[in-house]
Chains A and B, each alone.
Chain A
Amino acid sequence: MTKLTDMTLAEAVDGLARKDFSAVELTEDYIKAMEASRPLNIYVTETPEKARDMAKASDARIAAGTVGPMEGVPLGIKDLYCSEGVRTQAGSHILDGFVPPYESTVTANLWKAGAVHLGKVNMDEFAMGSSTTTTVWGATINPWKRRADDKTDLVAGGSSGGSSAVVAAHAALAATGTDTGGSIRQPASYTGIVGIKPTYGRCSRWGIVAFASSLDQAGPMTRTVEDAAIMLGAMAGHDPKDSTSVNVAVPDFRAAVERGVKGLKVGIPKEYRVDGMSADAERLWQQGIEWLKAEGAEIVDISLPHTKYALPAYYIIANAEASANLARYDGVRFGLRVEGDSLDEMYENTRGAGFGAEVKRRILTGTYVLSAGYYDAYYRKAQKVRARIAEDFERVYETVDVILTPATPTPAFPVGQDADDPVAMYLNDVFTVTVNLAGLPGISVPAGLTAEGLPMGLQLIGKAFDEETVFAAGRVLERGADFTAKPSFLADAGI
């Protein structure tokens, strides 16, 4: 029999329903894998007892015949999601010891669907980063290494780098991520897994520590496209507690996965051939085009003329929203307090000591672009450019159904690279931020290995609330790529 930890989410759910094995057996193997994954610094809070209790409850439901869509599935949860009774710090010193008295809506939905909480996984502080190195817990290491260099530690991407590494290393069956500018899709690309950021409003943001409220979205990170479809279905849905969550029916995403792409029009945006794009990205993009064509899709050259302005517009809007959202960390209600002689001094001391360098940089930038005299020049201008970017997409969606691009310009880079050059680090998000600004769904699917032996993903961008087409086209890429390569580190190797 194959290892339980080698199964996909779809296989595990089906096997559990058939009683081929129990939820407790599956969870025990993942607890072993969780422990074995410690050298990569993925889990920041392990909750094995909670996992065992939840798995037992899952087995009881299976015995009673009431099986949920995520029944018995052990998950890693990004440290950005509030977990009732479990330390949640968003990778920050300023939330030291914070134990939420409530559960985020998305994770509550997952537990209702039968899933099992293995533990909290690492991330860039407050989801601000592309490397999972700007965290109070220390960097997470990518389970992949360059073929000819097994010494250099590579980043797992960010900000959901714990979520990507945990899935790639088989230390969880799937994980939750969040994506504000690419924080699901870039780490998925860097670790050879699938990650989807759904349409803005598809998932509730309630109980997820806020970074940039008009851009943040929750999404699943999984081993296959079908797994992502199953898990997104369990996460999504209207929530009266988030006024931006949209009250539309959640389709049966799993049913759309095998729909195919025959007759579908796939747009190839010329502006995504950027400077600094690797030859590997170029080659994999061309392969993706061939895979879609071979299954009956029609390829259409398109133009999204405002693409190059997406990054600066994004960093104005995201930092402005972050400076407002992070005002709540004041040493009064939760987390760290550093005393001072006055209330103001206490605020300044607490925030000076509690926030890391990247978070400070973004709050300062955000405060500046919102300050008197600069609001119109920066913030209002960026909102207008955002409208232009959204118009670009509206126009091309009159003629195409979905858009194919690389997910990232390069594969995973060494830990520490570009740490002192914020603008260079921001360029990691060049292919993904446009999607957040326009609020569209975007998926990253593993497309193959680079010459150095590292995974890279392709991105599909869909129309608003048309994740089904994204899943169907994603499945065709997955079939074409037949990506079976494994990282050099697997946490279940000894099981």
Chain B
Amino acid sequence: MALDKATVAHVAKLARIKLDDAEIEKYQGDLNAILDWMEQLNEVDTDSVEPMTAVVPRATAERHDVVTDGGRQDAVTENAPDAAHGYFVVPKVVE
């Protein structure tokens, strides 16, 4: 099943990555080659297999629901491209 350009553009939109037409064409070729190569997994019988989600199976670790860190607003925002009054600044999203 080959990916068309519109699908590649849609996937790029989902991933929030701006691509120009030349890039869309390039990634269309790359993705089709990679997906074709991945098709070989269909040769493996996995009917009776549970998907593996953890390498070391064990119960999820629990901790007490208490504050262990905080009060470091400056450290949190110091790497932001734009910050003001202790907040991250983004383009206007509400008219």
Contact = CB atoms under 8 A, between A and B. Distances in A.
A45 interface: no
Interface stretch (A124-132, A221-229, A330-338, A473-481): A330-338
Contacts of B23: 360
A339 B16 contact: no
Contact of A333 (B19, B35, B88): B88
Contact of B31 (A345, A364, A387): A364
7 contacts: A333-B80, A351-B17, A360-B17, A364-B27, A367-B14, A390-B52, A390-B55
Given A312-B37, A367-B11, A334 B56 contact: no
Main secondary structure of the interface of A (DSSP, over half): helix
B51 A309 contact: no
Given A243-B61, A343-B90, A464 B56 contact: yes
A335 B55 contact: no
Contact of A200 (B14, B35, B56, B77): B56
> B13, B63, B90: which has the most chain A beta carbons within 10 Å?
B90
B75 A101 contact: yes
B33 A365 contact: no
Contacts of A438: 55
Interface residues of A, number: 71
B71 interface: no
A334 B79 contact: yes
Given A315-B34, A337-B82, A422-B34, A309 B41 contact: yes
A246 B56 contact: yes
A2 interface: no
A390 B72 CA distance: 43
Given A240-B63, A332-B90, A337-B82, A368 B51 contact: no
B18 A439 contact: no
Interface stretch (A135-143, A378-386, A399-407, A454-462): A378-386
Contacts of A382: 38, 41
Contact of B16 (A98, A246, A344): A344
A410 B52 CA distance: 31
Interface string B20-43: 000100010011011101101111
Nearest to A421: B33
Contacts of A199: 56
B44 A364 contact: no
Nearest to A386: B52
Contact of A364 (B8, B51, B75): B8
A156 to B, nearest CB: 25
A337 B81 contact: yes
B8 to A, nearest CB: 7
A352 interface: yes
